[in-house]
Amino acid sequence: MAKAPVLTPQAADFPRWYQDVIAKAELAESGPVRGTMVIRPYGYSLWERMQAEVDARIKAAGARNAYFPLFIPESYLKREAEHVEGFSPELAVVTHAGGKELEEPVVVRPTSETVIGEFMAKWVQSYRDLPLLLNQWANVVRWELRPRVFLRTSEFLWQEGHTAHATFEDARDYARMILHDVYQDFMVNVLAMPIVVGRKTARERFAGAINTLTCEGMMGDGKALQMGTSHELGQNFARAFDIDYLDATGARQHVWTTSWGASTRMVGGLIMAHGDDNGLRVPPLLAPVQVLVVAVKAETVERAVAVAAELSAAGVRAEAELRTDTPFGRRAVDAELKGYPLRVEIGPRDLAEQSVTLVRRIAGTKTSVPLTGLVRAVTAALAEEQAELYRAARERLDARVVDVATPEEAAEAASGGWARIPWAVLGEAGEQRLAEQSVSVRCLVRADGSVPDSGDEPELVAYVARAY
């Protein structure tokens, strides 16, 4: 392994370590307006890979991409009382434009249920127009008082899906499909992150929803991060925006709607779930660069270019690192900071022996591999590295979730991990007491770990944690 970069150790100060990784791996910087961020090219390449994987799953679920305005009339938000109350503290409102005061203030979108609802009302006329399945990739603004890059910023990037259905059951089933087939599948199989999926309590659910489903991930310090949510909105927005249709009998009915989203917060989750004291560790299936081919000396540049081309032709995302005028040690440290899964190093001795040195970021091993077997060795190593990241994250989750019997024990357990407690024992009163200690109920699940249909089901279990 290369010499460790100068990062604050996780054990010494996890938040400082997080900021160090973002800066030194060149992921992002704070923007000129408090709470905003500039995503640097490498950080954005991680988001692009996430975007591509999630977008493919969204399309497989039948939704189509569209785009809706950044500016929303303030009156739209006021049509759904719970929605506007929930978002009012976070709104950015434009009152002047073009050198004069606007007749009606406009809100910079915090989310798009209202503006999309306005257009759904125009586009849905009969049952033949349903289901209407829409998604948009966009930026949103929620004015953040305590910003943290990628985790909580006043402006962030995300996808937001919005759908309209003829029945409650169809909307419910679609919201669940998004939870499992889009978010959970991506997070487990690409991000290599074990996820607890469940139902939010009434206190924690999305403003204006009748049910919120969530994917919760455990970070390296034992805190929880909400990675993605899927909401059943019932008919609240349908009534507020007159989204109705003629059913097969000719009767007029209101639709049932859903919304769901995941954001650049997932980049923060990637850092905190998999990073170590050397920097990022990127799952191979996600990595923009799966293999960095490093020319150690100028005389190995030609071979490095050829090896990178061979790997690329075999379907591996490979890139040649040819800066031989920069010290090799510095380049190796930089590669570890950025978390490239594999490094193929080619020095003069490798050139003479028709071999390369294969360095694995996650396993931490370094082996000599003959050129003739390189593609096979790289393919196998990538699969093993992906599995190892998930295994380690799963082991941490299993080890740091404890079953408790009282709210006091739950609060104590949340100091370094998660607690599981019967919801009947905790209840809304216990949830309030935990909230006063900055501990929250992340979700409710059945005893077998499945997602409940109602928060009133017997024998539900609450996952409790401190969260980002």
Per-residue pLDDT, 145: 86
Mean pLDDT taken over the chain:
96
Span 6-31, pLDDT tens digits: 899 999 999 999 999 999 999 999 99
Per-residue pLDDT, 6: 80
Residue given tokens 């087939």 in the structure block: 181
Using the predicted structure, report yes or no on whether residue 88 has a pLDDT greater than 80: yes
Q: What is the mean pLDDT of residues 379-396?
A: 98
Per-residue pLDDT, 188: 98
Residue 333, both tokens: 């440290």
Using the predicted structure, report yes or no on whether residue 3 has a pLDDT greater than 60: no
Q: What is the mean pLDDT of residues 148-173?
A: 98
Residue 6, both tokens: 């100068």
Percent of the chain with pLDDT over 90: 95
Ordered structural domains, the chain, with CATH: 14-274 (3.30.930.10), 291-384 (3.40.50.800), 402-465 (3.30.110)
Lowest mean pLDDT among 5-9, 52-56, 268-272, 316-320: 5-9
Span 37-49, pLDDT tens digits: 999 999 999 999 9
Per-residue pLDDT, 228: 98
Per-residue pLDDT, 425: 97
Per-residue pLDDT, 2: 47
Q: What is the mean pLDDT of residues 249-255?
A: 97
Q: How confident is the model at residue 83 (pLDDT cuts 50, 70, 90)?
A: confident
Closest by Cα among 316, 329, 310, 270 to 289: 316
Q: How confident is the model at residue 86 (pLDDT cuts 50, 70, 90)?
A: confident
Kindly report the pTM of this predicted structure: 0.95
Per-residue pLDDT, 447: 96
Q: What is the mean pLDDT of residues 321-336?
A: 96
Q: What is the mean pLDDT of residues 139-146?
A: 93
Q: How confident is the model at residue 383 (pLDDT cuts 50, 70, 90)?
A: very high
Span 175-191, pLDDT tens digits: 999 999 999 999 999 99
User: What whole-number distance in Å separates Cα of residue 189 and Cα of residue 183?
Assistant: 10
Phi/psi of residue 349, nearest 5 degrees: -65, -40
Q: How confident is the model at residue 1 (pLDDT cuts 50, 70, 90)?
A: very low
Q: How confident is the model at residue 195 (pLDDT cuts 50, 70, 90)?
A: very high
Span 413-442, pLDDT tens digits: 999 999 999 999 999 999 999 999 999 999
Using the predicted structure, report yes or no on whether residue 266 has a pLDDT greater than 80: yes
Lowest mean pLDDT among 61-75, 82-96, 289-303, 370-384: 82-96
